[in-house]
Structures are given as structure tokens and as C-alpha cells.
Structure 1
Amino acid sequence: MAQVDALVETLKSALKSHNLKYRDVAQAMELSEASIKRLFSSRTFSLQQIQQVCLMMGMEISDLVQLMVERQARLQELSEEQEEEIVRDPGFLIITVCVLNRWTLEDMLRHYTFTEHECVQKLARLDRLKIIELLPKNRIKLLVAPNFSWRKNGPIQRFFLSTIEKELFQAQFDKPDHRLVVLNGMLSPQSNGELQKKIERLAREFDQLNNADAGLALPERQGYTLVLALRNWQYEQLFKYRRM
């Protein structure tokens, strides 16, 4: 399934690079635009349909597979030591997060108090970590894979978890673009597994939307944090009333 996801994501990226939209694919395949969107979201393309879309771009399926392999060869995760290096320096962490969100050097200088020299020094460190390629005139080429993520229970994830606990939930979640849902129930192992798959799909959709919006100018985007958690937990005070 992971390979199917990667192939469809590569197909979407190729369409974007050819300035083709869902409606163009719909016209070529004589389907509705809604049907094309469903094919992409459900990953239910037939081999013949993938070939049709490739032909629109003057590509063979083998070319698409090669593109997928090249995308997967990019950096997907840092080592424990590299994450430690980033998290030890708050300024370096800020620059790293900005870069992963496709900020330019000018964006960083406008929003933070770093000098240009400080920014470039930190960008050079990211270049050495192979997260970016620092190009002439301090332009930034992101080298990480589309599915790049922090290490599970690694230094940066632990840092963000401690920050989330202290800061994120100190809010009323009463703004139009905020949402907080807390649910409690009893599930079978099978239902738990099904819910975990849905969480994984939602996480992928968040990444896809983030990547799709990456080409927009910074004023058109805002930073959001989405937290998805599932565990067998009961409020501690309940244990005082349970029969042991």
C-alpha cells in the first residue's frame, strides 16, 4: 500500500510540474472532475488509467516509477545525533522548521530578529545535514522526501510534546479556524486498528495539503498544529472508585 501511495503522490507531483489540473485529467479521461479527485484520494487507479495520465505528460509508466524511486531516495529521517544538534539550539530549530515549511531567507528576516549572517550560518548547517542545498544568492532547495518526519520518540518529537503540553492546550479553541474534539469510549482491538488507519490517512492528508499550499506566498498561509492521539487511558481520579 505504501508503494501505491508513493506512486500516486509522484503522479500528482508530475501533473503539477506539467501545469496540469484535475479538470485536465478529467477531460482527457472523459470522466467528471469529482471522479478524478476520488481516484487520487482513494488510490484506486487501474494500470490503464495511470498509463492514460502518463501519456498526457508524454511519459511512460516506467518514467513515473523512476521518478518515484528518485523521490524516495531523498532524506526521510534524521539520525538521533542530528536531531540533538538541532534541538540544542532554539534558533537553529526555528530556522529548520521555517525551511521545512518552504520559507525563504527574506521571509525569515522579516519575521524574526536574526541577522542575515546568523540565518545564512544556520542554513549552511542545514546544507551540511543534507536537509537543504544552499544555492547562489542564498536560495534554498529542500532535499527532504515528501514523507519526511521527525524520529518517533526522538529529540525533536520529545521537545514538541513537552511544548504542546505546556502551551498548545492553554487555549479556549473558540476561534473559527480552531477545533478541539475529545472523545471517550470503549473499543475492541479490531475497532482500535480501524481507527488508527483513519488517523494515518488524516495525517497523510494534512501533509498533502501542506505540500500543495507550499507554493503560496507566506502571507497566504498560517501555521497550524494538528495533534492526533489515541491510547487506553482513564482519568486518574476514577481509580479511587474502582473495585480492585
Structure 2
Amino acid sequence: MASTEQLVNTLKRELRRNHITYSQVGAHLQLSETSVKRMFAKGQFTLDRLSAICSMVKWDWTDLIDAARNNEKMLDHLSVEQEKEIAEDIELLLVAVSVINGFTFQDLISQYQFSEAQCIRKLARLDKLNLIELLPGNRIRLKISTNFRWNPRGPIQKYFLDVVVHEFFDTSFAGDEEKLIVMNALLTDAAHQQMQQSMDKLASEMSQTMQRESALPLHTKKGNTLVVALRRWKYKPFVQRARD
């Protein structure tokens, strides 16, 4: 059985992951922020208050205990072998991308042409691959961090570059809900590295925004794909016209 300290630390971590502050917890419990901080510091909660806090992250007692018991490090990436298994099954890839984006079991059933049995089989495979934990009642707990990324040269990214990228760029990017910026610049090595760091921050911002909106109804959100790329590169016809 998980200790009180493990339970409290697990709950604090899940609140942070969902960007829920002590002030928001206080408003939910009708307590001051100071009282909430004291409660967490001492690890002293009434059952009703602990249940109420769990509900803010869509957990119940079972979820909290299981998460504390399985207090493994959240994954930043899968192995190449794990990605390969996902990339070779388009339906498994669909379910994987969907649950990473916050889909519940019912969301998957309502949005895609899966029977309950088919969906459970796909989720069970993702559980085996350590991407999720499939809980009782077909509830889904992600086992990945907010910094999770597909491997830079792994099977998922290769699939995107070989197949998906052509469909993604098959548009004029002139619509209200799409945007393309193409820039060229002469940069030092230091400036180039700084740009890469800025790209990482943008990717993290998108992940954090998705987490903040995770509690909103699915019908209020639309799928978005952000592609951020930078390389030292010269257009071949330009290179051919350069002086030696």
C-alpha cells in the first residue's frame, strides 16, 4: 500500500501536470490558499476533501492509489522497437496519437469506427508498450511526461516524413485556421542553437496548452498539427549557380 507521503506527492504532481494551482484547489474546496498549502504540507486531508481534489484531475481513489504505487518515471520517449510496433499498425497509431491528445475510451468509440472489443485490444497493446495504463472501467492513464516526443529518427517520424508530410503540405496555407512561415537567414552557430532552443519551447508550450484544455469537452476542440523545422540547407538550383 502506498504511504501517505507517496499519495500526497503523487497528487501534487498530477495537479501540476494539469496546471491546477493551490488557489484553484482552495476555491474548489472553499478554503483559503494558505489552508490548502498547510493541508498538503502536513499531509492531513479529510476523505471528502481528498476525493474532491482527485475529482479536479478526473481521478478517483483507485487512480490515486495506482498512480502512487506505480510511481515510475514518466517516459519522455519510447524505444525504437516500441515505436516500430505502433508505426506498423495504422489503427494502433491512431489510438496512440488520440490518447496522447487526451481521448477517453468513450471518445475513441464515438469518433472512430472501432467496436468496444477492438478498441480495448488496441489499448491493451499500448498498455503493454508502456505508453498508457488501462485501468478498470476502460479508463486510461498516460505514462508519458509533458515533454514526451517521438524519437527524432525513429519509425513514427519516418512514417510522418514518408507518408503524412505530403498530405499535410497539400494546401495553400491561406485559410483562417492555417499558417505557414518560411524564412531564410545567415546565422552563426550560437544563433542557430538558440533558434533550436526556441523551437523546443514552442513545442512545450503546445503540449502545456493541450494539458490546460484537457478538461474541456471534446466537441469544443479541433485537431491541430504543428511542424517546426530548421536545418542548414541551400536550395540545390542556387548551389549550382554559386562560384567555386
**TM range, smaller chain:** 0.7 to 0.9
Q: Which of 13, 20, 45 is residue 16 of structure 1 equivalent to? A: 20
> 1:9-158 alignment to 2 at 5 Å?
12-13=16-17, 16=20, 18=22, 20=24, 56=37, 58-60=39-41, 73-158=73-158
Can you list the C-alpha shifts for 1:88-112, whole angstroms capped at 9, x where unaligned? Answer: 1111111111111111122112221
The one-letter amino acid paired with 2:215 is: G
Paired residue secondary structure (2:240):
helix
CA distance in 2, matches of 1:112, 1:84: 23
The alpha carbon displacement at 1:210 in A equals 1.3
- Is 1:188 the counterpart of 2:192? The answer is no
The alpha carbon displacement at 1:13 in A equals 3.6
Q: Do the aligned partners of residues 176 and 78 (structure 1) sit closer, same or farther apart at CA in structure 2, a change above 3 Å counting? A: same
CA distance in 2, matches of 1:72, 1:205: 24
- Is 1:202 the counterpart of 2:176? The answer is no
Aligned 8 A contact 1:15 1:57 in 2: no
CA distance in 2, matches of 1:109, 1:233: 44
In the alignment of these two chains, the number of paired residues is: 205
Tell me: higher relative CO, structure 1 or 2? Use CA pairs within 8 A at least 6 residues apart.
2
Match of 1:63 in 2: none
Aligned 8 A contact 2:131 2:142 in 1: yes
Can you list the C-alpha shifts for 1:150-201, whole angstroms capped at 9, x where unaligned? Answer: 1121111111122343111111111212111000111111221222221121
Q: TM-score, normalised by structure 2?
A: 0.73
Match of 1:47 in 2: none
Aligned 8 A contact 1:173 1:179 in 2: yes
The one-letter amino acid paired with 1:56 is: K
Match of 1:64 in 2: none
The one-letter amino acid paired with 1:161 is: L
Aligned 8 A contact 1:18 1:57 in 2: no
Q: TM-score, normalised by structure 1?
A: 0.73
Supply the RMSD in Å over aligned alpha carbons: 3.3
Paired residue secondary structure (1:140):
strand
CA distance in 2, matches of 1:100, 1:240: 44
The alpha carbon displacement at 1:76 in A equals 2.2
Match of 2:229 in 1: 229
Structure 2 gaps of 5+ residues are 1-12, 42-66
